[in-house]
Chains A and B, each alone.
Chain A
Protein backbone atom coordinates (compact mmCIF):
# COMPACT_ATOMS: atom_id res chain seq x y z
CA UNK A 1 0.00 0.00 0.00
CA UNK A 2 2.59 2.53 1.08
CA UNK A 3 4.70 1.62 -1.95
CA UNK A 4 2.04 3.35 -4.08
CA UNK A 5 3.01 6.65 -2.51
CA UNK A 6 6.71 6.56 -3.43
CA UNK A 7 6.05 8.30 -6.78
CA UNK A 8 4.10 10.99 -4.90
CA UNK A 9 7.14 11.52 -2.68
CA UNK A 10 9.44 11.82 -5.69
CA UNK A 11 7.00 14.25 -7.28
CA UNK A 12 6.98 16.42 -4.14
CA UNK A 13 10.81 16.46 -4.17
CA UNK A 14 10.79 17.55 -7.82
CA UNK A 15 8.17 20.24 -7.20
CA UNK A 16 9.93 21.72 -4.19
CA UNK A 17 13.32 21.54 -5.92
CA UNK A 18 11.90 23.38 -8.92
CA UNK A 19 10.43 26.03 -6.63
CA UNK A 20 13.68 26.44 -4.69
CA UNK A 21 15.76 26.69 -7.85
CA UNK A 22 13.47 29.28 -9.45
CA UNK A 23 13.34 31.28 -6.25
CA UNK A 24 17.11 31.36 -5.92
CA UNK A 25 17.51 32.16 -9.64
CA UNK A 26 16.79 35.85 -9.34
CA UNK A 27 18.94 36.07 -6.22
CA UNK A 28 21.83 34.66 -8.28
CA UNK A 29 21.29 36.46 -11.57
CA UNK A 30 19.49 39.64 -10.61
CA UNK A 31 21.11 42.95 -9.67
CA UNK A 32 21.48 43.78 -5.98
CA UNK A 33 21.28 47.40 -5.00
CA UNK A 34 18.80 47.64 -2.14
CA UNK A 35 17.92 50.92 -0.51
CA UNK A 36 15.59 51.91 2.23
CA UNK A 37 12.80 53.25 0.09
CA UNK A 38 12.83 50.30 -2.29
CA UNK A 39 12.56 47.89 0.61
CA UNK A 40 9.74 49.65 2.38
CA UNK A 41 6.30 48.12 1.98
CA UNK A 42 3.99 49.27 -0.78
CA UNK A 43 1.17 51.53 0.24
CA UNK A 44 0.22 53.36 -2.97
CA UNK A 45 3.26 55.63 -2.66
CA UNK A 46 2.31 56.97 0.76
CA UNK A 47 4.32 56.66 3.95
CA UNK A 48 3.16 53.40 5.53
CA UNK A 49 0.77 54.07 8.39
CA UNK A 50 0.86 51.71 11.39
CA UNK A 51 1.58 48.03 10.89
CA UNK A 52 -0.28 45.28 9.09
CA UNK A 53 -0.36 43.12 12.20
CA UNK A 54 -3.77 44.24 13.29
CA UNK A 55 -7.03 42.57 14.15
CA UNK A 56 -9.18 41.21 11.33
CA UNK A 57 -12.95 41.07 11.09
CA UNK A 58 -14.47 38.26 13.16
CA UNK A 59 -16.34 36.99 10.09
CA UNK A 60 -13.26 35.38 8.62
CA UNK A 61 -12.72 33.34 11.78
CA UNK A 62 -16.40 32.41 11.74
CA UNK A 63 -16.09 31.11 8.18
CA UNK A 64 -13.04 29.07 9.13
CA UNK A 65 -14.89 27.48 12.06
CA UNK A 66 -17.96 26.67 9.97
CA UNK A 67 -15.69 25.20 7.31
CA UNK A 68 -14.15 22.75 9.75
CA UNK A 69 -17.58 21.64 11.00
CA UNK A 70 -19.08 21.13 7.55
CA UNK A 71 -15.96 19.69 5.97
CA UNK A 72 -15.90 16.87 8.51
CA UNK A 73 -19.51 16.06 7.55
CA UNK A 74 -18.47 15.95 3.90
CA UNK A 75 -15.62 13.57 4.69
CA UNK A 76 -18.14 11.23 6.38
CA UNK A 77 -20.04 11.01 3.11
CA UNK A 78 -17.11 9.62 1.09
CA UNK A 79 -17.07 6.08 2.54
CA UNK A 80 -20.83 6.05 2.27
CA UNK A 81 -20.67 7.01 -1.42
CA UNK A 82 -18.12 4.28 -2.19
CA UNK A 83 -20.30 1.59 -0.60
CA UNK A 84 -23.56 3.08 -1.80
CA UNK A 85 -24.64 0.19 -4.05
CA UNK A 86 -24.11 -2.40 -1.32
CA UNK A 87 -26.02 -0.37 1.25
CA UNK A 88 -29.05 0.10 -1.03
CA UNK A 89 -32.23 1.75 0.21
CA UNK A 90 -31.17 1.45 3.85
CA UNK A 91 -28.08 3.55 3.16
CA UNK A 92 -30.04 6.19 1.31
CA UNK A 93 -32.56 6.60 4.13
CA UNK A 94 -29.72 6.82 6.62
CA UNK A 95 -28.15 9.55 4.49
CA UNK A 96 -31.47 11.45 4.38
CA UNK A 97 -31.52 11.43 8.19
CA UNK A 98 -27.87 12.49 8.34
CA UNK A 99 -28.44 15.35 5.89
CA UNK A 100 -31.58 16.41 7.78
CA UNK A 101 -29.55 16.79 11.01
CA UNK A 102 -26.79 18.57 9.09
CA UNK A 103 -29.29 20.94 7.48
CA UNK A 104 -30.85 21.72 10.86
CA UNK A 105 -27.44 22.97 11.94
CA UNK A 106 -26.99 24.81 8.67
CA UNK A 107 -30.35 26.59 8.99
CA UNK A 108 -29.50 27.52 12.59
CA UNK A 109 -26.19 29.03 11.46
CA UNK A 110 -27.93 30.87 8.63
CA UNK A 111 -30.71 32.27 10.87
CA UNK A 112 -28.18 33.32 13.51
CA UNK A 113 -26.60 35.52 10.82
CA UNK A 114 -23.21 33.83 10.80
CA UNK A 115 -23.26 33.80 7.00
CA UNK A 116 -24.16 37.46 6.68
CA UNK A 117 -21.59 39.69 5.02
CA UNK A 118 -22.38 43.38 5.23
Chain B
Protein backbone atom coordinates (compact mmCIF):
# COMPACT_ATOMS: atom_id res chain seq x y z
CA UNK B 1 0.00 0.00 0.00
CA UNK B 2 2.82 2.33 0.94
CA UNK B 3 4.41 1.86 -2.46
CA UNK B 4 1.17 2.61 -4.31
CA UNK B 5 0.64 5.79 -2.30
CA UNK B 6 4.25 6.78 -3.03
CA UNK B 7 3.80 6.21 -6.76
CA UNK B 8 0.57 8.23 -6.79
CA UNK B 9 2.34 11.02 -4.90
CA UNK B 10 5.22 10.98 -7.40
CA UNK B 11 2.89 11.12 -10.39
CA UNK B 12 0.86 13.97 -8.90
CA UNK B 13 3.97 15.93 -7.93
CA UNK B 14 5.68 15.46 -11.30
CA UNK B 15 2.45 16.37 -13.09
CA UNK B 16 1.97 19.55 -11.07
CA UNK B 17 5.63 20.39 -11.49
CA UNK B 18 5.66 19.94 -15.27
CA UNK B 19 2.40 21.90 -15.55
CA UNK B 20 3.85 24.72 -13.48
CA UNK B 21 7.07 24.68 -15.49
CA UNK B 22 5.16 24.90 -18.78
CA UNK B 23 3.24 27.89 -17.49
CA UNK B 24 6.35 29.48 -16.01
CA UNK B 25 7.71 29.58 -19.57
CA UNK B 26 4.54 31.38 -20.64
CA UNK B 27 4.74 33.65 -17.58
CA UNK B 28 8.30 34.54 -18.49
CA UNK B 29 7.33 35.38 -22.08
CA UNK B 30 4.36 37.49 -21.02
CA UNK B 31 6.24 39.27 -18.22
CA UNK B 32 9.25 40.00 -20.42
CA UNK B 33 6.89 41.30 -23.09
CA UNK B 34 5.29 43.57 -20.50
CA UNK B 35 8.69 44.83 -19.35
CA UNK B 36 9.72 45.54 -22.95
CA UNK B 37 6.38 47.15 -23.81
CA UNK B 38 5.34 44.38 -26.20
CA UNK B 39 2.27 42.14 -26.11
CA UNK B 40 3.84 38.68 -26.08
CA UNK B 41 2.13 35.41 -27.06
CA UNK B 42 -1.62 35.91 -26.60
CA UNK B 43 -3.14 34.22 -29.67
CA UNK B 44 -3.27 30.52 -28.78
CA UNK B 45 -6.19 30.19 -26.40
CA UNK B 46 -7.41 32.86 -24.02
CA UNK B 47 -4.47 35.19 -23.23
CA UNK B 48 -2.10 32.60 -24.77
CA UNK B 49 -2.93 29.95 -22.19
CA UNK B 50 -2.57 27.11 -24.72
CA UNK B 51 0.79 28.37 -25.97
CA UNK B 52 2.89 25.78 -24.02
CA UNK B 53 0.94 22.93 -25.66
CA UNK B 54 1.43 24.46 -29.09
CA UNK B 55 5.16 24.82 -28.43
CA UNK B 56 5.52 21.20 -27.38
CA UNK B 57 3.56 19.99 -30.41
CA UNK B 58 5.79 22.03 -32.67
CA UNK B 59 8.99 20.71 -31.11
CA UNK B 60 7.84 17.06 -31.21
CA UNK B 61 7.41 17.25 -34.99
CA UNK B 62 10.83 18.80 -35.60
CA UNK B 63 13.74 16.88 -37.03
CA UNK B 64 16.26 15.52 -34.54
CA UNK B 65 19.61 16.72 -35.91
CA UNK B 66 22.79 15.17 -34.53
CA UNK B 67 26.08 16.45 -35.95
CA UNK B 68 28.12 13.68 -37.59
CA UNK B 69 31.17 14.66 -35.55
CA UNK B 70 29.31 14.44 -32.24
CA UNK B 71 29.71 11.64 -29.75
CA UNK B 72 26.27 10.11 -30.27
CA UNK B 73 25.84 8.29 -26.95
CA UNK B 74 26.83 11.19 -24.69
CA UNK B 75 24.95 13.61 -26.91
CA UNK B 76 21.79 11.61 -26.16
CA UNK B 77 22.63 11.08 -22.52
CA UNK B 78 23.21 14.73 -21.54
CA UNK B 79 19.58 15.98 -21.80
CA UNK B 80 18.38 12.93 -19.84
CA UNK B 81 20.80 13.73 -17.03
CA UNK B 82 19.67 17.35 -17.04
CA UNK B 83 15.94 16.65 -16.81
CA UNK B 84 16.33 13.61 -14.55
CA UNK B 85 18.32 15.59 -11.99
CA UNK B 86 16.01 18.59 -12.18
CA UNK B 87 12.97 16.40 -11.53
CA UNK B 88 14.43 14.14 -8.82
CA UNK B 89 15.63 17.00 -6.65
CA UNK B 90 12.03 17.66 -5.66
CA UNK B 91 11.79 14.24 -3.93
CA UNK B 92 12.86 15.43 -0.49
CA UNK B 93 11.07 18.77 -0.38
CA UNK B 94 8.05 18.76 1.97
CA UNK B 95 5.18 20.50 0.22
CA UNK B 96 2.66 20.26 3.06
CA UNK B 97 1.85 18.83 6.46
CA UNK B 98 0.06 15.50 6.87
CA UNK B 99 -3.28 15.19 5.11
CA UNK B 100 -6.10 12.69 5.61
CA UNK B 101 -7.41 11.41 2.26
CA UNK B 102 -9.88 8.51 1.93
CA UNK B 103 -8.94 7.23 5.36
CA UNK B 104 -5.19 7.23 4.72
CA UNK B 105 -2.90 9.50 6.67
CA UNK B 106 -0.56 10.77 3.97
CA UNK B 107 2.65 12.71 4.56
CA UNK B 108 3.02 15.38 1.91
CA UNK B 109 6.64 14.67 1.08
CA UNK B 110 7.84 12.01 -1.32
CA UNK B 111 10.94 10.76 0.47
CA UNK B 112 11.35 11.52 4.17
CA UNK B 113 15.14 11.34 4.13
CA UNK B 114 17.01 12.39 7.27
CA UNK B 115 19.78 14.15 5.34
CA UNK B 116 17.53 16.14 3.01
CA UNK B 117 19.89 19.09 2.59
CA UNK B 118 22.85 16.90 1.65
CA UNK B 119 20.65 15.14 -0.90
CA UNK B 120 19.73 18.46 -2.49
CA UNK B 121 23.36 19.62 -2.62
CA UNK B 122 24.45 16.29 -4.09
CA UNK B 123 21.86 16.39 -6.84
CA UNK B 124 22.52 20.02 -7.77
CA UNK B 125 26.17 19.02 -8.20
CA UNK B 126 25.09 16.26 -10.57
CA UNK B 127 23.31 18.89 -12.67
CA UNK B 128 26.73 20.12 -13.80
CA UNK B 129 27.24 16.87 -15.72
CA UNK B 130 24.28 17.47 -18.01
CA UNK B 131 25.57 20.83 -19.17
CA UNK B 132 29.25 19.92 -19.37
CA UNK B 133 28.69 16.64 -21.24
CA UNK B 134 26.29 18.29 -23.69
CA UNK B 135 28.90 20.94 -24.41
CA UNK B 136 31.74 18.48 -24.80
CA UNK B 137 29.91 15.80 -26.80
CA UNK B 138 28.72 18.20 -29.51
CA UNK B 139 32.32 18.54 -30.69
CA UNK B 140 31.68 22.14 -31.63
CA UNK B 141 33.31 25.26 -30.26
CA UNK B 142 30.40 27.29 -28.91
CA UNK B 143 28.89 24.42 -26.93
CA UNK B 144 32.31 23.48 -25.60
CA UNK B 145 32.91 27.01 -24.31
CA UNK B 146 29.42 27.08 -22.79
CA UNK B 147 29.90 23.72 -21.12
CA UNK B 148 33.28 24.60 -19.63
CA UNK B 149 32.05 27.96 -18.42
CA UNK B 150 29.01 26.41 -16.81
CA UNK B 151 31.03 23.79 -14.95
CA UNK B 152 33.45 26.39 -13.56
CA UNK B 153 30.60 28.73 -12.63
CA UNK B 154 28.42 26.12 -10.99
CA UNK B 155 31.15 24.60 -8.85
CA UNK B 156 32.31 28.06 -7.75
CA UNK B 157 28.88 29.07 -6.53
CA UNK B 158 28.20 25.72 -4.94
CA UNK B 159 30.66 26.66 -2.20
CA UNK B 160 28.80 29.76 -1.11
CA UNK B 161 25.51 27.89 -1.56
CA UNK B 162 26.63 25.16 0.82
CA UNK B 163 28.05 27.67 3.30
CA UNK B 164 24.98 29.90 3.37
CA UNK B 165 22.75 26.99 4.40
CA UNK B 166 24.86 26.18 7.46
CA UNK B 167 23.30 29.05 9.42
CA UNK B 168 19.86 27.56 8.81
CA UNK B 169 21.06 24.13 9.96
CA UNK B 170 22.48 25.65 13.14
CA UNK B 171 19.13 27.25 13.97
CA UNK B 172 17.11 24.10 13.30
CA UNK B 173 19.77 21.66 14.56
CA UNK B 174 18.96 19.15 11.85
CA UNK B 175 19.56 18.29 8.21
CA UNK B 176 15.97 17.15 7.80
CA UNK B 177 13.90 19.56 5.72
CA UNK B 178 10.81 18.69 7.75
CA UNK B 179 12.41 19.83 11.00
CA UNK B 180 13.69 22.98 9.33
CA UNK B 181 10.18 23.88 8.19
CA UNK B 182 8.72 23.14 11.61
CA UNK B 183 11.37 25.31 13.26
CA UNK B 184 9.99 28.23 11.23
CA UNK B 185 6.46 28.01 12.62
CA UNK B 186 4.55 31.27 12.96
CA UNK B 187 6.71 34.17 11.84
CA UNK B 188 10.09 32.69 12.81
CA UNK B 189 11.05 32.52 9.14
CA UNK B 190 14.71 32.14 8.39
CA UNK B 191 14.65 35.14 6.07
CA UNK B 192 14.32 37.27 9.22
CA UNK B 193 16.78 35.27 11.31
CA UNK B 194 19.30 34.78 8.48
CA UNK B 195 19.12 37.78 6.12
CA UNK B 196 22.72 37.49 4.93
CA UNK B 197 22.38 33.75 4.42
CA UNK B 198 19.23 34.37 2.43
CA UNK B 199 20.87 36.88 0.10
CA UNK B 200 23.95 34.74 -0.52
CA UNK B 201 21.76 31.69 -1.11
CA UNK B 202 19.55 33.51 -3.61
CA UNK B 203 22.57 34.85 -5.52
CA UNK B 204 24.10 31.36 -5.58
CA UNK B 205 20.77 29.93 -6.74
CA UNK B 206 20.75 32.37 -9.67
CA UNK B 207 24.23 31.18 -10.63
CA UNK B 208 23.35 27.51 -10.18
CA UNK B 209 20.30 27.76 -12.41
CA UNK B 210 22.21 29.85 -15.01
CA UNK B 211 19.72 32.68 -14.83
CA UNK B 212 20.46 36.04 -16.27
CA UNK B 213 22.87 38.06 -14.23
CA UNK B 214 24.98 34.88 -14.40
CA UNK B 215 23.87 33.19 -17.63
CA UNK B 216 27.41 33.04 -19.07
CA UNK B 217 27.02 29.39 -20.20
CA UNK B 218 24.45 30.44 -22.78
CA UNK B 219 25.25 34.10 -23.26
CA UNK B 220 23.50 34.62 -26.61
CA UNK B 221 25.63 37.44 -28.06
CA UNK B 222 28.90 35.54 -27.58
CA UNK B 223 28.08 31.83 -27.64
CA UNK B 224 24.96 31.61 -29.88
CA UNK B 225 23.03 29.30 -27.52
CA UNK B 226 25.87 27.99 -25.39
CA UNK B 227 25.87 24.32 -24.46
CA UNK B 228 22.71 23.43 -26.40
CA UNK B 229 23.66 25.01 -29.73
CA UNK B 230 23.81 21.61 -31.47
CA UNK B 231 20.52 20.31 -30.09
CA UNK B 232 17.17 20.39 -31.85
CA UNK B 233 13.66 19.06 -31.48
CA UNK B 234 12.67 17.51 -28.18
CA UNK B 235 16.27 17.27 -26.95
CA UNK B 236 16.47 21.04 -27.09
CA UNK B 237 13.10 21.17 -25.36
CA UNK B 238 14.46 18.95 -22.59
CA UNK B 239 17.26 21.41 -21.87
CA UNK B 240 14.82 24.28 -21.94
CA UNK B 241 12.45 22.40 -19.66
CA UNK B 242 15.20 21.42 -17.24
CA UNK B 243 16.35 25.02 -17.01
CA UNK B 244 12.87 26.09 -15.90
CA UNK B 245 12.43 22.99 -13.74
CA UNK B 246 15.69 23.90 -12.01
CA UNK B 247 14.34 27.37 -11.42
CA UNK B 248 11.14 25.91 -9.97
CA UNK B 249 13.06 23.55 -7.70
CA UNK B 250 15.46 26.31 -6.63
CA UNK B 251 12.46 28.45 -5.67
CA UNK B 252 11.03 25.52 -3.74
CA UNK B 253 14.32 25.12 -1.86
CA UNK B 254 14.49 28.85 -1.10
CA UNK B 255 10.90 28.69 0.18
CA UNK B 256 11.59 25.64 2.31
CA UNK B 257 14.79 26.92 3.86
CA UNK B 258 14.07 30.60 4.27
CA UNK B 259 10.40 31.45 3.73
CA UNK B 260 8.76 29.01 6.11
CA UNK B 261 8.07 26.22 3.61
CA UNK B 262 4.42 25.23 3.68
CA UNK B 263 3.72 27.25 6.84
CA UNK B 264 0.98 29.81 6.33
CA UNK B 265 0.73 32.29 9.22
CA UNK B 266 -2.60 32.61 11.08
CA UNK B 267 -4.18 29.67 9.24
CA UNK B 268 -4.67 27.74 12.48
CA UNK B 269 -6.58 30.60 14.09
CA UNK B 270 -9.26 30.49 11.39
CA UNK B 271 -10.83 27.37 12.92
CA UNK B 272 -11.03 25.38 9.65
CA UNK B 273 -11.09 21.55 9.62
CA UNK B 274 -7.68 19.89 9.39
CA UNK B 275 -8.19 18.84 5.79
CA UNK B 276 -8.69 22.40 4.55
CA UNK B 277 -5.78 23.67 6.61
CA UNK B 278 -3.52 21.18 4.79
CA UNK B 279 -4.93 22.21 1.41
CA UNK B 280 -4.35 25.89 2.18
CA UNK B 281 -0.79 25.07 3.23
CA UNK B 282 -0.05 23.24 -0.03
CA UNK B 283 -1.40 26.16 -2.06
CA UNK B 284 0.48 28.60 0.16
CA UNK B 285 3.68 26.71 -0.67
CA UNK B 286 2.92 26.86 -4.42
CA UNK B 287 2.08 30.55 -4.15
CA UNK B 288 5.42 31.33 -2.48
CA UNK B 289 7.25 29.36 -5.20
CA UNK B 290 5.48 31.26 -7.97
CA UNK B 291 6.32 34.58 -6.30
CA UNK B 292 10.03 33.70 -6.22
CA UNK B 293 9.91 32.48 -9.81
CA UNK B 294 8.38 35.82 -10.80
CA UNK B 295 11.25 37.49 -8.94
CA UNK B 296 13.73 35.38 -10.95
CA UNK B 297 12.04 36.47 -14.18
CA UNK B 298 11.89 40.17 -13.33
CA UNK B 299 15.58 40.12 -12.38
CA UNK B 300 16.39 38.48 -15.70
CA UNK B 301 14.79 41.23 -17.72
CA UNK B 302 16.09 44.19 -15.72
CA UNK B 303 19.74 43.45 -14.88
CA UNK B 304 22.53 43.17 -17.47
CA UNK B 305 24.86 40.19 -17.70
CA UNK B 306 28.08 39.96 -15.68
CA UNK B 307 31.47 39.58 -17.35
CA UNK B 308 33.14 36.24 -16.67
CA UNK B 309 35.92 37.62 -14.46
CA UNK B 310 33.38 39.67 -12.49
CA UNK B 311 31.34 36.52 -11.97
CA UNK B 312 34.30 34.56 -10.68
CA UNK B 313 35.49 37.43 -8.48
CA UNK B 314 32.03 37.81 -6.97
CA UNK B 315 31.83 34.11 -6.24
CA UNK B 316 35.27 33.56 -4.78
CA UNK B 317 36.36 36.90 -3.33
CA UNK B 318 33.03 38.21 -2.05
CA UNK B 319 30.40 35.52 -1.52
CA UNK B 320 32.72 32.96 0.08
CA UNK B 321 34.12 35.27 2.83
CA UNK B 322 30.65 36.75 3.47
CA UNK B 323 29.12 33.30 3.86
CA UNK B 324 31.84 32.19 6.31
CA UNK B 325 31.44 35.42 8.28
CA UNK B 326 27.69 34.87 8.43
CA UNK B 327 28.24 31.39 9.80
CA UNK B 328 30.51 32.62 12.61
CA UNK B 329 28.22 35.53 13.51
CA UNK B 330 25.22 33.18 13.62
CA UNK B 331 27.14 30.92 16.00
CA UNK B 332 28.00 33.85 18.30
CA UNK B 333 24.41 35.13 18.35
CA UNK B 334 22.92 31.70 19.06
CA UNK B 335 25.29 31.19 21.99
CA UNK B 336 24.92 34.67 23.46
CA UNK B 337 21.11 34.81 23.34
* A interface residues (Cβ-Cβ under 8 A, vs B): 1, 4-8, 10-12, 14-16, 18-20, 22-23, 25-27, 29-34, 36, 38-44, 48, 51-53, 56, 59-60, 63-64, 66-67, 70-71, 74-75, 77-78, 81-85, 88-89, 91-92, 95-96, 99, 102-103, 106, 110, 115, 117-118
Contact = CB atoms under 8 A, between A and B. Distances in A.
Per DSSP, are chain A's interface residues mostly helix, strand or loop, or mixed? Answer: helix
A1 B112 CA distance: 10
A27 B299 CA distance: 36
A27 to B, nearest CB: 5
Nearest to B67: A41
B88 A67 contact: no
Interface of B: 3, 6-7, 9-11, 14, 59-70, 76, 79-88, 90-92, 110-114, 117-119, 138-144, 148, 151-152, 155-156, 158-159, 162-163, 166, 169-170, 173-175, 224, 229-230, 232-235, 237-238, 308-309, 312-313, 316-317, 320-321, 324, 327-328, 331-332, 334-335
Per DSSP, are chain B's interface residues mostly helix, strand or loop, or mixed? Answer: helix
A115 B313 contact: yes
Nearest to A109: B316
Q: Which 5 A-B pairs have the closest CB atoms?
A: A26-B233, A117-B309, A19-B80, A41-B140, A15-B84
B173 A110 contact: no
A25 to B, nearest CB: 5
- Of A10, A12, A83, the most chain B CB neighbours within 10 A belong to A10
Contacts of A32: 63
A82 B174 contact: yes
B140 A26 contact: no
A70 B159 contact: yes
Given A74-B163, A85-B334, 17 more contacts: A7-B10, A7-B91, A8-B91, A12-B88, A14-B14, A22-B238, A26-B59, A26-B61, A26-B234, A43-B140, A48-B140, A60-B151, A63-B156, A67-B156, A70-B320, A92-B328, A103-B324
Contacts of B317: 110, 115
Nearest to A75: B162
A57 to B, nearest CB: 9
Given A30-B64, A39-B65, A115-B316, A77 B327 contact: yes
